[in-house]
Each structure stands twice: as C-alpha cells, then as structure tokens.
Amino acid sequence: MTRPTMTQPTEAATGGERDRAAADCCGPASCWGWSPPPLPADTPAKRWVDRWQPRTGWPVIVYFGAVVALLNLATHVPTAPGLALDGLAALAAGGWCALNFWRCRHAHCLITGAGWLTLSLFSVAEAALGRSVISGTEGLVFLGVLATGLVFEAVWYLARGSNAVASR
C-alpha cells in the first residue's frame, strides 16, 4: 500500500470534499434530500448561482410563495397587467428551474424551466397585445407545466433510479 502524497488525497479527504460540495449546492439538505448531487462549481458564474439561488427551507418556500402570490394577483387585476404578472411569475419560476437544472440536473427542471420560460414570453406577448389568446388560462398552463415536469421526473426516476438527468 502506498502512502498518499499531495497529488493523491486520502479517501477521507475526497469524501469530505464531496460532502462539502453537496451541502453547498444540491446535497442531502437541499429540498429535504430530494435534489441530486451538484455539478462542480468550477466557474465564477456557477459559484454565484450557488450562493444566490435558494436551495431549501424557508428561502425556497418564500420564493415560490411569491410566485403563487403573483399568479393569484394576476386574476384580480385588468387583463394586460394580469398577463404581465403571469409572465413575471413564469419568469421567476422558470428562471429558478433553469438555473437549478444547470447546476444539479434535476429532471423536472428540464421540463418546468423550459415550459415556464416559454410561458413567460407568451404571457408578455399577450400583455403587449392587451388580451389573452388562450382565454385567460395562463394559470392553468402554469400548473400543467408543473404537472408535466413532475410526471417526467417520476418516469425518469422509475426508468433510471435517479432524479438527475445526467450523472457526473
């Protein structure tokens, strides 16, 4: 057996680094153990997202509570501002999921990130028109994207045994 050198870390050191990286991003504490392990934060942009983006607990609850509040408020204001609020809510949710997919490869975020960002663009275009072209069902579309993402993740998990789209 060889002794570890500066270029050969011990098994405990390697495991400890993985544990710290997991705790910093999407590890066991993230989303109450639901998120897959993080990808390495090897760029300043990734490190910035890891510091800024809420991962678990009250910050996530408050963030998505604000998204739900925007969706609810949108139904109580005139059409164009309501569509703008729908677009803002979809942008906030889609942006969060797109960043989460970039960092952690959470399966549902592939669908919800793309779906909500598309809905955001669509809702802003509708706001510019001053009317809904889908009969005011943007909130239902938002929920449909969520349901589709969760079903996709469930199927992915059953097929692959992981809720991460790509392994490290």
Task: State which residues form the domain around 109.
Answer: 42-160
Whether residue 12 lies inside any domain: the answer is no
The predicted structure's pLDDT at residue 18 = 39
Residue 28 has pLDDT above 90, yes or no: no
Residue 55 has pLDDT above 90, yes or no: no
Whether residue 131 lies inside any domain: the answer is yes
Report pLDDT digits (tens) over 86-144.
999 999 999 999 999 999 899 999 999 999 999 999 999 999 999 999 999 999 999 99
- What percent of the chain is predicted at pLDDT more than 90? 67
Whether residue 8 lies inside any domain: the answer is no
Q: At what angle do helices 138-160 and 57-74 cross, to 10 degrees?
A: 140
Model confidence at 167, pLDDT cuts 50, 70, 90, reads low
Nearest to 89 by CA among 109, 76, 72, 101: 72
Whether residue 33 lies inside any domain: the answer is no
28: DSSP letter: T
CA torsion, ordered 35, 153, 151, 62, to nearest 10 deg? 20
Whether residue 140 lies inside any domain: the answer is yes
The predicted structure's pLDDT at residue 27 = 45
CA distance 163 to 25: 15
In the chain, the N- to C-terminal Cα span, in Å, equals: 28
CA separation, residue 1 to residues 4, 5, 11, 20 (Å): 9, 12, 13, 28
Whether residue 5 lies inside any domain: the answer is no
Q: Report the predicted TM-score, pTM, of the whole model to 2 decimal places.
A: 0.78
Residue 40 has pLDDT above 80, yes or no: yes
Whether residue 105 lies inside any domain: the answer is yes
Q: Is 102 helix (H, G, I), strand (E, B) or coil?
A: helix
- CB-hemisphere CA count at 13 Å for 102? 18
Number of structural domains (the chain) is: 1
Q: Which stretch of 27-41, 90-104, 135-149, 153-167 has the lowest confidence by average pLDDT?
A: 27-41
